[in-house]
Structure 1
């Protein structure tokens, strides 16, 4: 229960509710402005709870019409209601009793998009984390599990389909002009997994036969006319269901699985039991409107939400401090699924890029928090890269430490032991410890300590003795609230690559190591290899086995040796990326000081050679050619950052690579697949390489002609947006760029998701003048400020994806974001808070930008009453 603004919730304060919910029956009479909700809850007093204990239900922005005990009105002196709760006293001491609560709410005016709201004529719910309290008074916490029966009543012309969780019980006429539908979910669930959808929607249907032979009805609901764009989502769903059976032994447990796509949604999707609700950008796809990245995201997010059926729904989290127990674990599962569906190495590279771009900066700034935080003020602000992405990495490390067989045994035990439970991290780790016989107490620190560990690596080769030593030393910098850190268990996968490119397989002495993994558990450890036939090159943290920063003085020749010979594709990419990063950091610092920039001849050669290497898959070559982003370089520099200098340096290096490889890039730019579009990984890889080559060739030629021709000839959204981005970013203001923008907007005038791409490409165009363009786009007649996708496409892309534009020296970008956050906060606090996190690294800039950024943040703090979401972020960002 939230009792006061700014209340701090603490993990150590957890205690179960005084009353146990046995079941809940809900009846909805849907109306745009006055929806009536009747909630009948069967409860009993928990053993040992005092006879005078009151029942306290959560509530938010509700109108209470009446409250009853066992069918009789409760004396007004025995209950109190305020803005955040309903408190009832004088309840039975032993026998179960029924509380009936009647409330009224307005879906049409619910701009927070939490609870029950209405979007484009469709009633929809979002209850995670604390949205159910906006529907009725109830225990709105994840450890209260109950069986739900739901009856929905609505006007026939207002809601053709009336959907909720579980299995369908029946439907029919309710009265003149209205109909009803009833649903029953036999699996106890917390309130955050409740869902309701009502509307006139299009339907795509299929079936799936589970491994036990049960036929499950599959239904995807979309806006009318978009049914043809749901086919890939249905295919991804069926593949997810099959994969979860084969890899984790998890079978679906209801008669029906439903998925609904809506356009106004704060999140990517929501795993409500049996009724997933999706942001439509992660469902709708066809070659004309969706890119390869869109298809890959749809596949991954469909899988993620489906996998939650077991890791999140059947087994949920005891409290919100355990959020990573469902999210980090399920991200790990969707990563494993995507790796099996596509190139595992390329998928892993994309994961590493995402982690370093979003989670590493979070760990290094004022918003740092452990994977399992111990305190919070606003839980909505902890749906973070740390909980999701780092949480996934922690699960991945468990598998690395235990091995595949013991990891599977641990997962099987977890499913068996905790099915139907609201569990904790301790419960989760105990299953792996028991299944493997391994002590995981030290490893558990990954859940409780914030920050990115650093590991320094040194090597010593003794030619005469034919011995090789590897010394590892760990450190972990202080983070907000955690000044002292304990030693971690860091599993570092490694390989020793001999001069001929083969790998040395001898086992080391001096510490625990096995199956190609060093287990760093002390401050400093040395691992010694003997009988090594020649000087090896150490490949460390293969596959990015641990989310750490590696500090190692490795020569350019050694990195090149890894890039050519490592058996691990991720390590080959890391070696190339490290060479590029070293050069980019060096030249960025020179550019900041106004000094002459050195040539990048060696880097250009190895990247051009990689581009031309037909033995490498195209998707890998595209990743290798994608230089570290400007934000990555800034993170590596760490302090006194000048975004303009980084941009200048990176552009110079890009130009040198482009010029050196023009002949190669010209050929590759024409190698995109021809014929009908396929989202398959092989074709997507070819398009990725062709698009990257087109960008390099355009840089070398310094002319927009090639990109404009590619835009005009494109027959799919991937090729079109690749060319459009080149035109807008490399040749801003040119006739070709403006013509392409106009043509794109005209062609997709009625398609919101396609237009989001149009807005985003312009928002990310580099340069201090972009803020003026963003200001103009905000005033466009078709710009919808109430739609989260549109705001993320423009404001989110500008603030999080445009280092030079957003961090303009005059502070215009900061002021623009501050103004928009203040405005958005009035209607959608979650969206406002998430956009605001783009400023999490403001203290790392040079002094002038720091001052301007701080002024913008202070202007938000002083703007008046802020939501708990935004107020929490501001407080942490401005804390000394």
Structure 2
């Protein structure tokens, strides 16, 4: 039986400085699995080799399986022992053949790590340390092994048997059972092992590589889901071609399979040749998936495919190097997505995500560097810092090197470390060598936590034609790192003339590496306006002395799309913070800037929709010393109302302009739908008497999920009777579709209504709510916890609700539960009363008997950091 791993009084800390190469390597393994949900037998044959002149025994990690037999060189032995779940075998020679047989119970594996049951199928998830739950093995990424896998199962129940690599044989066993064998010729760490057994069908396609090799592609799903795989298969082919064109990386096996499963802790997993996906990142059609879903599917399919090189062919030496594969691959999938549509809108979306998830992480008790120094449970470091900030660090290097040299550096990296387990330092060294650049100081990005803050002040001397830009950087203290050194910050900047609105010179890339620097500009004949951190060239917080008029000017005239968006957002943010602090603010400048953006014929709908959308409640709170959820909510609603009323005619024009369009998945059509939803929200915010009927009409007439959910979102935050009708219609229409029903739960959890907490509490008792499915848990509990006003209700009942759910979830799935802790850990940002209640819930979690190591680490760090 696979048991829940529990925390001890003093959980063991793993430290990066203690890394030691493995005592034993396993060049080859043969696995023979006799599959049954209740009782699976796993026979493993390992060829093991001692790596140096030591006398230490062979230690094979394990967790939860029942050992049945152990053989060494074909002879059964009895002098093996179990120590802290690991199988310890004393060996005298330098090379041996080890055979083990174990029994596991997939249908009782609620942690969804190792081999588990999902929707009648059997599947695996082994990253980071799940393989030890299948068989005894040195479960660490620097043990690279070639795998042979043979599976036997009931043919009627599990007609499809898949594993890593290429198929080499299959047949019947004569007793209603059958077998299949797969070989993977490329050595890989055990976290990349995968197998699936189930009643599945495939959307098949073929891809011809640039060298002329034919690759058989398959996306495997339940028969009813087959029509929803067309988008994913096209995304796969597009990403394979893109990786060849942009990075020169060709696929290396004859087969590439993807399997979609409903119960999955992550978005997807890059197992060599057999990617396993959360169904939400594979299944899509216009009826059930939003434009966001379509885009996310393409991005995740690309991400997991790109891992074939940045993660599989070159893997990470240890888990402290996780950003080596994840940060680099996120950068690659972001670049891919930017090439498929609007690069400007994609950059806006990526930065918004970074600010929503990673910036708060960097400023809170769970702050850590992209290459951490220690952990209790590695699954807790699958974070926005590792992934999203890690991608920004790669982007900064790409910016400093330039496209040609960056490609030379990545070629060097792939060629030099192919087939090995590498480190972040190995990657940076290749950037230096291939790009001809010194990155000594830049390496601080890998070791220092926190978000740099840059102050920028521009002065102009009209008589001399000289302008001076003063820059200063500081790094706030983070847990365990009170004092920080200056970072290397690549800042793109440009000046514009305030009278002519013309550029003053060309864009410059400034490398800010000291605590303070000064930059002079000559022959500046008119007052300059500063555009800085263009394209978000560095993941920093910029503080300037630009006025509201300057920000409005840039929102209209800046020639960098991101900088133009950023100016508008900063103008809105300054206004909203003032309103939250003082109860009122002058909205005139924001209204004028939004009106100008709506009227600009040169802007596409997607960009306009992003630019005119107000910053979120939580991002406004991030700008304040103490977060006041109610004041922020009132300030934001007041500005939404005034924008809605003052520009109602323009919102209706924007809405009507996209109203009659039929569904099409294209950049322009997506932009129209996005702007239509934003416009509808402002019409509703204005208090227009027909807003609810307009939204309900869109809801009923919609030929796609984007428009339908956009209308539902508008209705759910209001009080009109159409709200209940729409929720009932939506539920009855999609009650048999788990992925769409997740939207029904999350839309209500994110509502702006006063009674959201009561609604969510009731939804937790709904017959379709279950904590056993990670998607459903995230849809309700996760969504509610980021609803700043509802979660931080003054009574503290929101904190109590989330803590109750996490304690219950921890007993089923510690990994998913631990990832939902961070909102409770932000207690330092709130008033004394709220902070005390959040701390009390964290203390209650820590004191829970049998708490997992995952939860213990996150909750205790949230209290102490």
Counterpart residue number, 1:718: 706
Q: Is the 8 A contact 2:306 2:332 kept in 1?
A: yes
Counterpart residue number, 1:561: 553
Q: How does 1:414-563 map to 2 (within 5 A)?
A: 414-499=413-498, 500-505=500-505, 516-563=508-555
Matched, 1:186 2:220: no
Q: Distance in 2 between matches of 1:358 and 1:134?
A: 31
Q: Is the 8 A contact 1:357 1:631 kept in 2?
A: yes
Q: How does 1:1-150 map to 2 (within 5 A)?
A: 6-48=11-53, 50=54, 52-74=55-77, 76=78, 78-92=79-93, 94=94, 96-150=95-149
Q: Distance in 1 between matches of 2:407 and 2:456?
A: 32
Equivalent of residue 604 in structure 2, options 602, 605, 617 = 617
Q: Distance in 1 between matches of 2:721 and 2:755?
A: 18
Counterpart residue number, 1:708: 696
1:584-623: per-residue Cα shift (whole Å, max 9, x none)? Answer: 00101123xxxxx133022112112212322211000000
1:386-407: per-residue Cα shift (whole Å, max 9, x none)? Answer: 0000000000000111111111
Alpha-carbon distance, 1:640 to partner? 2.2
Unmatched runs of 5 consecutive residues or more in structure 1: 507-514, 592-596
Q: Is the 8 A contact 1:34 1:104 kept in 2?
A: yes
Q: Is the 8 A contact 1:471 1:525 kept in 2?
A: yes
Q: What secondary structure is seen at the aligned counterpart in 1 of 2:259?
A: strand
Counterpart residue number, 2:857: 872
Q: How does 1:657-676 map to 2 (within 5 A)?
A: 657-672=643-658, 674=660, 676=662
Matched, 1:758 2:754: no
Q: Distance in 2 between matches of 1:429 and 1:408?
A: 13
Q: Is the 8 A contact 1:61 1:83 kept in 2?
A: no
Q: Distance in 2 between matches of 1:91 and 1:100?
A: 16
1:388-429: per-residue Cα shift (whole Å, max 9, x none)? Answer: 000000000001111111111100100110101100011001
Q: Distance in 1 between matches of 2:595 and 2:159?
A: 58
Counterpart residue number, 1:647: 633
Counterpart residue number, 2:380: 381
Q: Distance in 2 between matches of 1:809 and 1:24?
A: 57
Q: Is the 8 A contact 2:641 2:687 kept in 1?
A: no
Q: Is the 8 A contact 2:121 2:197 kept in 1?
A: yes
Q: Distance in 2 between matches of 1:872 and 1:402?
A: 39
Equivalent of residue 728 in structure 1, options 680, 693, 716 = 716
Equivalent of residue 837 in structure 1, options 817, 822, 825 = 822
Alpha-carbon distance, 1:462 to partner? 1.1
Q: Is the 8 A contact 1:202 1:225 kept in 2?
A: no
1:481-529: per-residue Cα shift (whole Å, max 9, x none)? Answer: 11111111111011111232222226xxxxxxxx621111111111111
Q: Is the 8 A contact 2:7 2:850 kept in 1?
A: no
Q: Are residues 387 and 408 of structure 1, via their aligned partners in 2, closer, same or farther at CA, if it must alter by over 3 Å?
A: same
Q: Is the 8 A contact 1:861 1:874 kept in 2?
A: yes
Q: Is the 8 A contact 2:549 2:589 kept in 1?
A: no
- TM-score w.r.t. the length of structure 2 is 0.98
Alpha-carbon distance, 1:478 to partner? 0.8
Q: Distance in 1 between matches of 2:27 and 2:587?
A: 68
Counterpart residue number, 2:841: 856
Q: What secondary structure is seen at the aligned counterpart in 1 of 2:819?
A: helix
1:256-286: per-residue Cα shift (whole Å, max 9, x none)? Answer: 0000000000000000000000000000000
Alpha-carbon distance, 1:767 to partner? 4.1
Q: Distance in 2 between matches of 1:836 and 1:680?
A: 37
- TM-score w.r.t. the length of structure 1 is 0.96
Q: Distance in 2 between matches of 1:106 and 1:289?
A: 34
Q: Distance in 1 between matches of 2:525 and 2:398?
A: 32
Q: Distance in 1 between matches of 2:173 and 2:378?
A: 39
Matched, 1:810 2:803: no
Alpha-carbon distance, 1:175 to partner? 3.7
Q: Is the 8 A contact 1:711 1:724 kept in 2?
A: yes
Q: Are residues 755 and 711 of structure 1, via their aligned partners in 2, closer, same or farther at CA, if it must alter by over 3 Å?
A: same
Alpha-carbon distance, 1:784 to partner? 2.6
Alpha-carbon distance, 1:533 to partner? 3.1
Q: Distance in 1 between matches of 2:216 and 2:632?
A: 53
1:670-711: per-residue Cα shift (whole Å, max 9, x none)? Answer: 222645422212110110001101111122244312111111
1:448-494: per-residue Cα shift (whole Å, max 9, x none)? Answer: 00000111111121111111111111110110011111111111011
Root mean square deviation, CA, Å: 1.4
Q: How many residues align?
A: 857
Alpha-carbon distance, 1:843 to partner? 1.3
Q: How does 1:335-346 map to 2 (within 5 A)?
A: 335-346=334-345
Alpha-carbon distance, 1:146 to partner? 0.6
Q: Distance in 1 between matches of 2:561 and 2:491?
A: 16
Counterpart residue number, 1:511: none
Q: Is the 8 A contact 1:490 1:521 kept in 2?
A: yes
1:326-362: per-residue Cα shift (whole Å, max 9, x none)? Answer: 0000000000000000100000000111001110000
Counterpart residue number, 2:587: 600
Alpha-carbon distance, 1:445 to partner? 0.4
Q: Distance in 2 between matches of 1:441 and 1:718?
A: 47
Q: Distance in 2 between matches of 1:189 and 1:137?
A: 16
Alpha-carbon distance, 1:83 to partner? 4.4
Q: Are residues 542 and 774 of structure 1, via their aligned partners in 2, closer, same or farther at CA, if it must alter by over 3 Å?
A: same
Q: How does 1:145-164 map to 2 (within 5 A)?
A: 145-164=144-163
Q: Distance in 1 between matches of 2:835 and 2:661?
A: 51
Q: Distance in 1 between matches of 2:567 and 2:603?
A: 15
Structure 1, 455-464 or 352-361: larger mean CA deviation = 455-464
Alpha-carbon distance, 1:561 to partner? 2.1
Alpha-carbon distance, 1:544 to partner? 0.6
Q: How does 1:583-594 map to 2 (within 5 A)?
A: 583-591=575-583
Q: What secondary structure is seen at the aligned counterpart in 2 of 1:443?
A: helix
Alpha-carbon distance, 1:818 to partner? 0.6
Matched, 1:303 2:302: yes
Equivalent of residue 824 in structure 1, options 785, 809, 814 = 809
Alpha-carbon distance, 1:3 to partner? 12
Q: What secondary structure is seen at the aligned counterpart in 2 of 1:835?
A: coil
Q: Distance in 2 between matches of 1:248 and 1:674?
A: 41
Q: Is the 8 A contact 1:542 1:570 kept in 2?
A: yes
Q: How does 1:730-749 map to 2 (within 5 A)?
A: 731-732=718-719, 734-749=720-735
